Amino acid sequence: MPAAIVLVSCDVGKEDSVADELCSMQGVENVAIVYGAYDLVVKLSAETLEGLEGLIIRKLRMLPGIRTTVTLMVSRECPVR
């Protein structure tokens, strides 16, 4: 199943509302509010690569309050022991 980690920079003061909106979106597995160069770290997955691309381009990036994104495509995941 294709997955991606997206680093999100939000407009000032919009972190909580953007995180709440992301948490309600289908395909979003996890949203973490973080400190540093980015405001949120979001894990996404979809049944197909095209579905993942659509989720990122047509839904996530269009949310009000999101300033910039950096997308990291997951090539492989290792289970935590």
Q: Are 44 and 29 in contact (CB under 8 A)?
A: yes
Looking at residue 77, its pLDDT comes to 92
Looking at residue 79, its pLDDT comes to 87
- Measure CA 24 to chain center: 12
Q: What does each C-alpha distance from 22 to 2, 59, 80 come to in angstroms?
A: 18, 9, 25
Residue 4 has pLDDT above 90, yes or no: yes
Tell me the pLDDT of the chain averaged across its residues: 96
Output the pTM of the full model: 0.93
CATH code for the part of the protein at 3-73: 3.30.70.920
The structural domains of the chain, with segments of one domain joined by +, span 3-73
Q: What does each C-alpha distance from 67 to 8, 13, 28, 48, 62 come to in angstroms?
A: 8, 12, 19, 26, 10
